[in-house]
A and B are shown apart, each in its own frame.
Chain A
């Protein structure tokens, strides 16, 4: 097995933390290279959720009995952990949502409907996931906002030549911190500053950033930051919208009902204070507990070490795949590992990515093929689909090598 010298993570031990990686598929080991899609879950997260359901299950903020207090403490404790993990100044700035998609919809629909009018400009980038495009399209249909696009430049980076002109007069600049297709890391602080200089708010889709790179939302200076629990070792069904207290106070509730009110009469309602104003109905309690455990797990590894591991493994992957397949493989995105995350979109000769990843499956290699919910970007790249391998804390050089062997097998099978 390939051993990486001086890997800041003990990957062999980490693999043992993830029970699913012991599973066999098609008679071989599971090689999971699709963490940009969803990450696997460590036993500690599963145990925390199990413990919640077997020991403390009750509704929150309502009961006067012991287990209800434990459930509430679980939910609010998870909020505090997340707040600390992302550098939030206050726990109440952390809103639990269903996922990143709901968080971004909250921004576009609740803040956007209250503050945007016909003709107002919203600036996006060509790297965006559909979750940061479609809600704005909807708002464009509803109130007639104008969408502007920061274009893709060379080597997978944005072309910021005309940034000042693009943001001039805009009300919102909303962008991903890391591309889910190319791995490109965006200059978040520069974009945030440009937005504020132009009088716009800055919204960051950090879905691919928070799981992989130490994140400090206060240092970013953004107004809103959205991310999702299931890509960071946490469960599905929970995401986060962080916002400054000022902007959250200035945003009307999105989904309404129980939990989010202070008072309801026949005449109307008074919204609860932050963060509950945005958390209508019974929240995803077990999922919050699981996310809290995921944050503990990642903190235990250390986000600096996680990042170092991924930069070095991405470097290995870029190098070894290029050496082995030369011109046949085309890997999109920044060529410099330090400028990107461990997300590699590629095509091989004229093999369709679907056919490629179908052969991968026979090798137990899990890689996504398709447009990765980024059709605007795919059009700019001039491809309909790519295969996308993405790395995380439990991947090592042997996983990359297993995929490379699968590529060779596919090339032989299809005779290319």
Chain B
């Protein structure tokens, strides 16, 4: 039986108690996107500023459980200053760790997202235990999906 320690690793609790990049950015120039977890009502707000094909700044607002908040905090630290390609690769690796299955484009059933072997997840590895608590996976991926949407919207708005 997976225990609480598998889920709530020390580093997760640390990010929950002292979240990084918490706050807001003026939008515009930043892009502001809200994400909702329909299961629990958690709301996350991602502010992202994209310049020269990279995430130049990011802030996280909203509220949520320790898993969604710490995932957002670690994500913000991991993507700040990275190019959009690097962010995409990191997101894929993170989702692969979360065992997220996505519909393949030609509609031929599910494909498992393959992690990019060159991508280092670092602190984010601590969230691996979430997979053993399937209802919490949505908590961990909420901020990532919101970030992807924010990057898309920022590209669309220029």
Which residues of A are at the interface with B, using a C-beta cutoff of 8 A?
26-27, 352-355, 358-359, 362, 369-371, 375, 378, 384-385, 413-414
Are B13 and A354 interface neighbours, CB within 8 A? no
Q: A352-B65, A354-B136, A354-B139 are in contact. Are A26 and B41 (CB under 8 A)?
A: no
Is B156 among interface residues, defined by CB-CB distance under 8 A?
Answer: no
Give CA–CA (A310, B43) in the complex, Å: 34
Are B136 and A385 interface neighbours, CB within 8 A? no
Number of interface residues of B (CB under 8 A): 20
Q: Which residue in chain A gives the minimum CB-CB distance to B39?
A: A370
Give CA–CA (A241, B12) in the complex, Å: 48
Q: Which residues of B contact A384 (CB under 8 A)?
A: 40-43, 63-64
CB of B34 to closest CB in A, whole Å? 12
Q: Which residues of B contact A378 (CB under 8 A)?
A: 41
CB of A26 to closest CB in B, whole Å? 6
CB of B147 to closest CB in A, whole Å? 20
Residue from B41, B66, B133 with most neighbouring chain A CB atoms (10 Å): B41
Counting residue pairs across A and B whose Cβ atoms lie within 8 Å, the total is 48
Q: Which residues of A contact B13 (CB under 8 A)?
A: 414
Contact of B8 among A27, A385, A413 (CB under 8 A): A413
Give CA–CA (A49, B6) in the complex, Å: 41
Q: A352-B66, A384-B41 are in contact. Are A358 and B139 (CB under 8 A)?
A: no
Give CA–CA (A352, B39) in the complex, Å: 14
Which residues of B are at the interface with A, using a C-beta cutoff of 8 A?
1, 3-4, 7-8, 13, 39-43, 63-67, 69, 133, 136, 139
Q: Which residues of B contact A414 (CB under 8 A)?
A: 8, 13, 66
Contact sample, A vs B, 6 pairs, CB 8 Å cutoff: A354-B67, A358-B7, A358-B133, A370-B39, A384-B63, A413-B4
Contact of B65 among A27, A354, A413 (CB under 8 A): A354
Are B3 and A371 interface neighbours, CB within 8 A? no
CB of A293 to closest CB in B, whole Å? 32
Q: Which residue in chain B gives the minimum CB-CB distance to A371?
A: B41
Give CA–CA (A415, B3) in the complex, Å: 17
CB of B115 to closest CB in A, whole Å? 26
Q: Which residues of A contact B133 (CB under 8 A)?
A: 358
Are A358 and B136 interface neighbours, CB within 8 A? yes
CB of B146 to closest CB in A, whole Å? 15
CB of B143 to closest CB in A, whole Å? 15
CB of A6 to closest CB in B, whole Å? 39
Are A385 and B4 interface neighbours, CB within 8 A? no
Q: A370-B41, A375-B41, A385-B42 are in contact. Are A352 and B1 (CB under 8 A)?
A: no
Give CA–CA (A413, B64) in the complex, Å: 18
Are A362 and B3 interface neighbours, CB within 8 A? yes
Q: A358-B133, A385-B42 are in contact. Are A26 and B63 (CB under 8 A)?
A: no
Q: A354-B136, A355-B66 are in contact. Are A370 and B40 (CB under 8 A)?
A: yes
Q: Which residues of A contact B41 (CB under 8 A)?
A: 370-371, 375, 378, 384-385
Q: Which residues of A contact B136 (CB under 8 A)?
A: 354, 358
Q: Which residues of B contact A385 (CB under 8 A)?
A: 40-42
Q: Which residues of B contact A26 (CB under 8 A)?
A: 1
Q: Which residues of B contact A362 (CB under 8 A)?
A: 3-4
What 5 pairs across the A-B complex have the smallest Cβ distances? A371-B41, A354-B65, A352-B65, A370-B40, A384-B41
Give CA–CA (A352, B133) in the complex, Å: 16
11 more contacts with CB within 8 A, not counting A352-B64, A385-B42, are A352-B66, A354-B42, A354-B139, A355-B8, A355-B65, A355-B67, A358-B7, A369-B40, A370-B41, A371-B40, A414-B13
Give CA–CA (A167, B147) in the complex, Å: 44
Q: Which residue in chain B gives the minimum CB-CB distance to A409?
A: B4
Q: Which residues of B contact A27 (CB under 8 A)?
A: 1
Q: Which residue in chain B gives the minimum CB-CB distance to A413?
A: B4
Residue from A353, A384, A414 with most neighbouring chain B CB atoms (10 Å): A384
Give CA–CA (A238, B63) in the complex, Å: 37
Q: Which residues of B contact A352 (CB under 8 A)?
A: 64-66, 69
Give CA–CA (A370, B136) in the complex, Å: 12
Give CA–CA (A27, B1) in the complex, Å: 10
CB of A328 to closest CB in B, whole Å? 17
Q: Which residue in chain B gives the minimum CB-CB distance to A372?
A: B41
